[in-house]
Amino acid sequence: MRHVAITIEGVLRDPITGQPDERGRELYHALANNYRVTLLADRNVVDVADWLFVEGFTKHTKVIAASRKVEDPREIRLKQIRLLRTVGDVDLVITSEPLLVDDFYTMGQPHLLFIQPKHLGQLPPRETWDELTARVDDDRRRAAALHDDEDT
């Protein structure tokens, strides 16, 4: 069964109000019917377990808590993904954190950026996005060139 990891904050829960995000809820339930779902928490599991149960998020296989030893939110998420990848493939990561796009791309980790404008944080600086776009374009050109070389 395919494995998907979903961040709680920003995808399932509005980080400002603490209320469930309805589109995130729909996405969760659609995926949970066909995928093994792991949730990525920014807090310890005890803090989120009751909220998940009360709000009807009960189809996931586990919750990976934030490490108490890591303070940087970006590093917390990367550590969670690395941990999951040690025990098997993670077919898709769904996150609301634009600054992780480059890291996931570098790791070769398929990901989906879930943007809910009403609780969106700051977007990455334009140069960062342009650099990532240029990298993706360069990789596509290299792949096309390799494909063309194989055909000749």
CA distance 61 to 66: 17
User: Rounded to two decimals, what is the model's pTM?
Assistant: 0.80
CA distance 65 to 48: 9
Domain boundaries, the chain: 3-121, 123-152
**pLDDT tens-digit series, residues 22-62:** 999 999 999 999 999 999 998 888 889 999 999 999 999 99
CATH, domain 3-121, list 2.40.37.10, 3.40.50.11240, 3.40.50.1000, 3.30.413.10 = 3.40.50.1000
| Closest-CA residue to 84 (of 47, 30, 114, 40) | 40
**pLDDT tens-digit series, residues 85-133:** 999 999 999 999 888 988 999 999 999 999 887 665 555 566 677 777 7
CA distance 97 to 73: 10
CA distance 82 to 80: 6
